[in-house]
Chains A and B, each alone.
Chain A
Amino acid sequence: MSRLGIFVDRKTLSSAEQLNALIRCRDAAEEMGHGAEFIFPVDIRKIPQVDGLFIRARTDPMNITYVASRMAAFAGIPVIDDPDSIQVCSDKVHMYARLMREGVEVPRTLFLSFRDLTPARAREVFDELGSPLVVKEPSTSFSLRVEKVEAPGELLQVARRYFKLSDWVVVQEYVESTYDWRVGVLRGRFLYACKYIIPSQTFKIQDSVNGHVVYCGVESVPPQMVPPAVIDLGIRAGRAIGNGLYGVDIKEGPAGPCVIEVNDNPSLEGGEDTAYPHVYREIVHTLLEV
């Protein structure tokens, strides 16, 4: 019997869906004959006592999840998400740079530094990438700091706002679609797939419209219903980042499928795995039995 640590913070515990997902994870570990315990930020010292650590809280190199992940790595304990995956996936500059270097298809993407974003440069960017464009602050998550812009002035405005949080921002060609594929990848292999249906009021999978938050619909899709090119791209994207657990977002653009984002710490509480009952078992197996 091994011990699984599940790292959670107050935010994880504040949602009913998250709580149910955590219980399913614990149950999977116990059914496999292992122990499972929750680890809170103040328990980071206990990490060396578990045999594997599964982080279920919003990861970022600047928050406590990175401390937990790094402590596990220092102690030689298998961890999802490992520090490298957190570093790469939490920062869209890092993530796209990695995907491009590894030849993984992404929408045409540029990085802009506050030092060189002048009105002239903004016009050039539209010439290079077309209109509209998508601007992203590198640490965005839940679509929070992703905006569509249609003119150089608008690009400057949004970028200036994002420059308060990051010296560089990402600008990207806009790829039209009504849903995002989400391909789950574990240790370089296909784990699950679902569709995130984009709400009709917006272009993002989550947005605030007239003060109300609108969420995407989640539709778990069995493997035989997923285009092989989408699965293949998901796997290649996951492998380009590392050997952990990733949720790869893919759009089918006019020129073929392209990766919008590789998420570490992909959510599993929204029904993503309905058609894949063994997702937690496979995660536990990876952490405790490999």
Chain B
Amino acid sequence: MPDGQLLLEPPAPGEAITRLSGPARRHALRAKSGPVLSRGSIHSVERDGVVHLVSENYSYKSEAYYAILMQETQGRRVEPGTKAILDAFVVPVCLERARMDGIPVADYAISQSCIPAPAVIYGLNYFACTSHFEVLCDDESARELVRHVTNNGKYPFCSQRLEAGARIERAVSIFGNVSSTDPAMAGMAAGVWDSFCIPLVEIICIDGPCGLRLSSLCPVRYSRLTPAERDLLSAYLSGQVFL
């Protein structure tokens, strides 16, 4: 009988997959500089038996996604879960999950043809990434942008109306904390953390007459972090700040 074998590749030598727990964690506490947030590196923090994986790319079929999947397959407790990841980065699903968890979310529709401006639109297809949204300002340019996002009408898209005076606000959330001083954004980040448990994520909101509402969640490249955000993330990773 042929039987398969589950091969869990250990990280290659010199790779920045850091697993901080026990003595390593205590050691890191004393370390001056935190772990290196190099491109593509995956880090983890353990707290109360739950491993929190930090990555700049959690997308479906990414290294981080599979690292999490292997932990889940073996019955270990890991956050974010693969289901939360899939939910987070498909806009209508993200908004529905958030809404059910009590987070204020943008009104949205799923369309396949042109819609009136002003609006924010997100592609819904295999190659769409939430960080590539488009803002339709006038009906003139809307046609062209919709054509682009739908690949000539082939795929549907998610649209969110922008009311008069509404603006897009974005903030990077690190373990549910944002550097923004706006209490509404801080509350949004806390809610998103409770619902999705993604340690590093950018929150895109529409700020309009009905207050701040979630528009989407996006991945964050380490290279885009401000020095303050970088320090906060490093502090979490080296155990200087506790979850």
Q: How far is the CB of A242 from chain B (nearest CB, A)?
A: 13
CB within 8 Å for A96 and B4 given contacts A41-B110, A91-B61, A167-B63: yes
Bitwise, A78-98 to B at CB < 8 A (1) or not (0) is 000001100100010110111
On whether A105 and B3 interact (CB within 8 A), knowing A63-B124, A113-B9, the answer reads yes
In contact, A139 and B61 (Cβ under 8 angstroms): yes
**Contacts A70-B96, A255-B2 known; A87 to B90 CB distance under 8 Å?**
no
Given A41-B112, A101-B73, A105-B1, 5 more pairs with CB closer than 8 A: A71-B96, A74-B100, A105-B2, A168-B66, A255-B2
Query: How many Å lie between the Cα of A234 and that of B21 in the bound state?
Result: 42
Tell me the minimal C-beta distance from B76 to chain A in angstroms.
Answer: 13
- Bound complex: CA of A42 vs CA of B65, how far in Å? 29
B156 with A62: CB separation less than 8 A: no
Q: Say whether B242 faces chain A, with CB atoms less than 8 Å apart.
A: no
By a CB distance below 8 angstroms, the chain A residues around B124 are 41, 63-64, 67
Contact of B2 among A64, A87, A97, A106 (CB under 8 A): A106
Could you give 21 example pairs across A and B, Cβ below 8 Å? A41-B110, A41-B112, A42-B112, A44-B110, A61-B86, A64-B110, A66-B90, A67-B110, A70-B87, A74-B100, A94-B69, A101-B74, A105-B2, A108-B2, A110-B7, A167-B65, A167-B66, A168-B61, A175-B2, A255-B1, A258-B2
> Chain A residues in contact with chain B, CB under 8 A?
41-42, 44-45, 60-64, 66-67, 70-71, 74, 83-84, 87, 91, 93-94, 96-101, 105-116, 138-139, 165-168, 173, 175, 253, 255-256, 258
Within 8 Å CB of B156, what residues of A?
41-42, 64
Q: Which residues of A contact B60 (CB under 8 A)?
A: 61-62, 91
A-contact bits for B1-25, CB 8 A (1 contact / 0 none): 1111111010110010000000000
Q: How many Å lie between the Cα of A67 and that of B2 in the bound state?
A: 37
List, in ascending order, chain B residues with CB within 8 A of A60's CB. 126
* Pairwise interchain contact A74-B112, C-beta atoms closer than 8 A: no
User: Which B residues touch A107, using CB under 8 A?
Assistant: 2, 4
Number of interface residues of B (CB under 8 A): 41
Least CB separation from B63: chain A residue: A167
B5 near A44: Cβ-Cβ < 8 Å: no
Contact with A along B65-97 (1 / 0, CB 8 A): 110011001100000001100110010110011
Task: Report Cα–Cα, A112/B9, bound state, in Å.
Answer: 8
When A41-B156, A87-B83 are in contact, do A167 and B62 touch as well, CB less than 8 Å? yes
**Distance of A160 from chain B, by nearest CB (Å):** 15
Which of B6, B9, B90 touches A61 (beta carbons < 8 Å)? B90
Task: State in angstroms the CA–CA spacing of A251 and B97 once bound together.
Answer: 40
Residues of B within 8 A of A44 (CB): 92, 110
Residues A106 and B3 in contact, CB atoms below 8 Å apart: yes
Q: Is the CB of B73 within 8 A of A98?
A: yes
- B3 / chain A contacts, CB cutoff of 8 Å: 100, 105-106, 108
How long is the Cα–Cα vector from A138 to B66 in the complex, in angstroms? Answer: 11
Contact B86 A256 (CB under 8 A): no
Q: Is A138 touching B61 in the complex (CB atoms < 8 A)?
A: yes
How many whole Å from A70's CB to the nearest CB in chain B?
Answer: 5
Residue numbers in A under 8 Å from B92 (CB-CB): 44, 67, 71
What chain B residues lie within 8 Å of A96 (beta carbons)? 4
CB neighbours of A87 from chain B (8 A):
82-83, 86
